[in-house]
Amino acid sequence: MKKKILYLFSDTGGGHRSAATALIKAVEELKRSDPPIQEMVDVFAECSGFLNIFAKLYAPVIKYSPKMWGMLYYWFNDMKKMQQMEKMARPFLEKELSKLIVRRKPDLIVSVHPLLNHITISAMEMAGHVVPLITVITDPVSLHRTWVCPDSDLLIVATEEAKNTCVRYGADPKKTKVMGLPIDPKFTRASRNKKALRKDMGLKENVFTVLMMGGGEGGGNMYKIVNQLSKDDLNIQLVVIAGRNEKLKKDLEKIKEKVSFPMKVFGFTNEVPDIMSASDLVITKAGPGSIAESLAKELPVIITSWLPGQEEGNVKYVVDSGVGIVCKDYRQIGKAVRQFQDPARYKQIKKNINKTNNPKAVYNIAKKIIEKI
């Protein structure tokens, strides 16, 4: 009988779903001859309509009131408050999650969300179906206490700093492994020649190429940044991925012929690995996935914004590792881009990236998952 792996996530931000999807792809590649059955479950959506209402508030809160999110993040990063929160949430989730476990009968559960670890242990016990639980922490540096459930069989983290935080929060150091951040395997593969990719995209083959991204929703001051870069007399060409932000895409298309450099605008696209391979530099928010994908493609980054709390450590990591710089003032981004156009500095940053980069992390984590089934 085929083994079954159940991945638990919630669509509070795109990173959790992306991590689970990346791991599923990597496991499938490693187990081509006898692949396990792998299923993903959005736990709040499937097991608790009430809690799913709050889960859906995540996106608008971080968009319109990131400071409030930061306050909540730090306020709940306390053992007593966390226990109270779990106690309140348990009646709305535990019973239905236990029923789901009984129906799916997994041989292994992988959690990629901070609010699902403690409750999964108790739900398995309620279901009478206790199997190994692996927690894959998708915040690479700064992580919330809710991630750490000492009863997890394995905690996988991206950095030594994250491991130290886990241990401080009560994790067993022997069960906490530093393995990197799981990203889609397609970012780990070699792409075609940079010049050929640019030619196919309708770009000039020998011009410094800057990629700007704002996550799946096209967030950040991307329109303002484009206009400012156009004023800065830069010898570049720009590729912008607007994601699902249709208004941003339309607005950028309107000014495409007016800006001072060639510009290509994409909406939501699955061609990000090739677009990155055609680029020399990424301007992005401090989302862990965007940073990890950029580094996997050996691209320096300019960080323009970040969420208080969970993404602050990502910013520090980029700066301390020497793989990019921070520029929160969009009016200064042109100056930042010029720094990367200096060949000597660019070469040093590429060396720094190669020292810290861990693009094969998704396969190493997948191997650990396979070992547990």
Q: What is the CATH number of domain 189-356?
A: 3.40.50.2000
Task: Please give the pLDDT value at position 144.
Answer: 92
- Please tell me the pTM assigned to this model: 0.91
Residue 237 pLDDT greater than 90, yes or no: yes
What is the rounded average pLDDT of the residues 289-314?
93
Residue 14 pLDDT greater than 90, yes or no: no
Task: Please give the pLDDT value at position 13.
Answer: 62
Task: Please give the pLDDT value at position 69.
Answer: 76
Query: Which pLDDT band, with edges at 50, 70 and 90, does 48 fall under?
Result: confident
Query: Which pLDDT band, with edges at 50, 70 and 90, does 32 fall under?
Result: very high
Token pair of 181 as six digits: 């951040």
Lowest mean pLDDT among 85-99, 175-189, 214-228: 214-228
248-259 pLDDT per residue, tens: 999 999 998 899
Alpha carbon distances (Å) from 82 to 136, 169, 176, 200: 19, 12, 21, 51
What is the rounded average pLDDT of the residues 350-361?
92
Round the average pLDDT of the chain to a whole number and report it: 91
The answer for residues whose C-beta is within 8 angstroms of residue 230's C-beta and 6 or more apart is 258, 259, 260, 261
CATH 3.30.230.10 given to domain 4-181+360-372: no
With pLDDT > 70 as the criterion, what percentage of the chain qualifies? 95
Residue 238 pLDDT greater than 80, yes or no: yes
Residue 358 pLDDT greater than 80, yes or no: yes
Lowest mean pLDDT among 77-86, 106-115, 116-125, 258-267: 77-86
Query: Which pLDDT band, with edges at 50, 70 and 90, does 49 fall under?
Result: low
Topology match between the domains 4-181+360-372 and 189-356: yes
What is the rounded average pLDDT of the residues 286-315?
93
Q: Comparing 81 with 197, which gets the higher pLDDT? A: 197
CA atoms within 13 A on the CB side of 177: 17
Beta bridge partners of residue 283, listed in sequence order? 212, 302
Residue 116 pLDDT greater than 80, yes or no: yes
Report phi then psi at 171, rounded to 5: -75, 150
Domain spans of the chain?
4-181+360-372, 189-356
What is the rounded average pLDDT of the residues 168-172?
96
Beta bridge partners of residue 156, listed in sequence order? 136, 177
Beta bridge partners of residue 289, listed in sequence order? none
- Specify the DSSP element, H or E, that contains 133: strand 133-136
Q: How far is the C-alpha of 226 from the C-alpha of 224, rounded, in Å?
A: 5
Q: How far is the C-alpha of 209 from the C-alpha of 203, rounded, in Å?
A: 9
Task: Please give the pLDDT value at position 74.
Answer: 80
Report phi then psi at 361, rounded to 5: -55, -40
- Secondary structure of residue 359 in the 3-state scheme: coil
120-166 pLDDT per residue, tens: 999 999 999 999 999 999 999 999 999 999 999 999 999 999 999 99
58-73 pLDDT per residue, tens: 677 677 778 887 887 8
Report phi then psi at 138, rounded to 5: -95, 5
181-218 pLDDT per residue, tens: 999 999 998 888 899 999 999 999 999 999 999 876 65
